[in-house]
Amino acid sequence: MPEKMTDPGNPFPEFITQRLKLREFRLEDAVRLHEIWTDSLVTRYLVLDPFTEIHQTREMISILKALYPSGEGCRWVLSIPASQEVLGTCGFHSWRKEHARAEIGYEMDPRYWGLGLMSEAVLPILEYGFNEMGLNRVEAFVTVGNRESLSFLERKGFTFEGTLRQYERARGCFQDQWICSLLKVDWEKGKRT
């Protein structure tokens, strides 16, 4: 089991990929993230009510930023190193240490969809989850109908496990969710092939 995230000497883990920097949230990210989190293409399948005010975005940043020090998960801001432009976020929440599992979530500015950037971001995040957080299982819940997200997960090695009927209440109704998972053994096997 890895050290507790709140231990001194465990600074927030940052990663540099070929095109991205994955870093901790900053207060100055609010305006840019508000643009992304209020885009109808991004929010179409989210189980949260769409934000209308910047204070809602600031509150969400506080919630996501608190995941790491509280030991409940870890969420990264995805940015372009040269310009520092924020493209979205990705990471883990609902970390259940006793069961060695967590849920992964992500979203990105639609202008950057289809460029392989989220695929690039997810690789070090999954590596961190399995090797540093001690995860055995990563789960992903996808609102039924979001075939792009389901397809993305399957390309990353996730297995579609089925439909959870009326699993989430959002926007005044219950929504079905697809559940997918990636096990550490499958992750390790996929890295060797």
pLDDT tens for residues 107-152? 999 999 999 999 999 999 999 999 999 999 999 999 999 999 999 9
Domain boundaries, the chain: 15-192
The pLDDT value recorded for residue 9 is 54
| pLDDT exceeds cutoff 80 at 10 | no
Which element (helix H / strand E) includes 127? helix 117-131
Q: 58-101: per-residue pLDDT in tens?
A: 999 999 999 999 999 999 999 999 999 999 999 999 999 999 99
- Count the Cβ atoms, other than its own, within 10 Å of residue 50: 14
pLDDT for 56 equals 96
What pLDDT is recorded for position 192?
59
The per-residue pLDDT for 2 is 36
CB-based contacts of 147, cutoff 8 Å, min separation 6: none
Residues 155-184: tens digit of each pLDDT: 999 999 999 999 999 888 999 999 999 999
Is pLDDT of 193 > 80? no
pLDDT at residue 48, rounded to an integer: 82
- Residue 173 region, left (φ>0) first, then alpha (ψ -120 to 50), else beta? beta
User: Which CATH topology does 15-192 take?
Assistant: Aminopeptidase (3.40.630)
